[in-house]
Amino acid sequence: MSLYSRGILMILGSAFCLSTSGIGLRVIESANGWQILFYRSLSMMGLVLVVLLLRPEPIARRIKNLTLDDFLLALVLGTGFCAYVFALLQTTVANALFIFSAAPFFAAVLGWLVLREAVPVRTWLAIGAAMVGLAVMVGAGVMGGRVLGNLIALWLPMSYAISVVLVRRSKQPDMLLALLLATLVATVISFFCNGIDFSAAEISFSLGAGLKALTIPAVPARDVWVAVAMGIFQVGAGFILMMLGARHVPAAQVGLLALVEPVLGPIWAWLAASEIPAETTFIGGAVILMAVGVDAAISAKRKSAG
């Protein structure tokens, strides 16, 4: 199997893992978003560290070879982890999904500007078709208002696209150490932000409240274990696969393949929580999967032929 084909499978596996977030969030009993993010990030950090220890290159050498791109990716991706929570707190899931559909567009443009990766016409057509499909999926739920949440959600596709470009530009054997630093960024932010209260009227911050929220064991053990499972099997495995796979797949295609995530999300909610998707969800999802599948199949065939 070629490196390109392996990369495609890894990106699809990443989207599969990331699409399960809704299942975990639906079984949380009382933990707030920041507490979920804290335990999820902490467990993800542990997983990435274990994977790093199993890789052939020593961590000490990786640390010595850290570059500006590694720190930039850590900041971009770490804040992206946090933005996901803010977006879902401040806007609808439909709005968040619709905004995330811009990921392949951002990735294609950044890939062209930064990496000089030409985007084939078929990929642009596939991106357009996929965005139409996602619009059909969530169109009924996309409403005006909720400006703050929509602006925060805009960082989701931007951070994903920037991360993909940084991974492809990096000279490192992989960007797993940068991913470890990103989990540290999210862990630290979520630790202190437990004292932040967002509402339509005010934004207040209390460092003492943030410390108290985590130093007092008020989070049910069940919620902690759910958040830990999300950190390992959802974002942990999902972003490890993305980091390893994006190295071998053009940025525009990585963003396009990532749209499998919002297609699978409602299906898992249907199977696990009996949330029956609307008919438009199936129609829009079919359009997205067809666009992604056709583009990937043609690209793989041309890669093998070349």
User: Which of 49-53, 77-81, 94-98, 211-215 is least confident?
Assistant: 211-215
- CA-CA distance, 238 to 197, in Å (whole number)? 29
Q: Calculate what percentage of the chain has a pLDDT beyond 90.
A: 30
Give me the amino acid identity at 54.
L
Q: 118: pLDDT confidence band, cut at 50, 70 and 90? A: confident
Considering only 218-222, 237-241, 271-275, which range has the smallest mean pLDDT? 271-275
Band the pLDDT of 233: cuts 50, 70, 90: very high
pLDDT beyond 70 at 225: yes
Residue 244's pLDDT band (cuts 50, 70, 90): very high
| Average pLDDT of the segment spanning 88-110 | 76
Highest mean pLDDT (candidates 23-27, 47-51, 125-129): 47-51
Q: What percent of the chain has pLDDT over 70?
A: 80
Is pLDDT at 120 greater than 80 in this prediction?
Answer: yes
Which pLDDT value is given to residue 206? 47
Contact 235, 4 (CB under 8 A): no
Per-residue confidence (pLDDT) for residue 217, from 0 to 100: 47
Q: What's the confidence (pLDDT) of residue 144?
A: 56
Long-range pairs of 4-8 with CB within 8 A, sequence gap ≥ 24: 4/248, 4/249, 4/299, 4/300, 4/303, 5/300, 5/303, 6/245, 6/248, 7/244, 7/245, 7/246, 7/247, 7/248, 7/249, 8/245, 8/249, 8/253, 8/257, 8/296, 8/300
- Choose between 203 and 167: higher pLDDT: 167
Q: Average of pLDDT values for 115-133?
A: 86
Separation of alpha carbons 288 and 135, rounded Å? 10
Q: Which of 3, 81, 91 is nearest to 43 (CA)?
A: 81
Q: What is the mean pLDDT of residues 174-199?
A: 82
Reply yes or no on whether the pLDDT at 198 is more than 50. no
Whether pTM > 0.75 for this model: the answer is: yes
- CB atoms under 10 Å from CB of 50, counted, come to 11
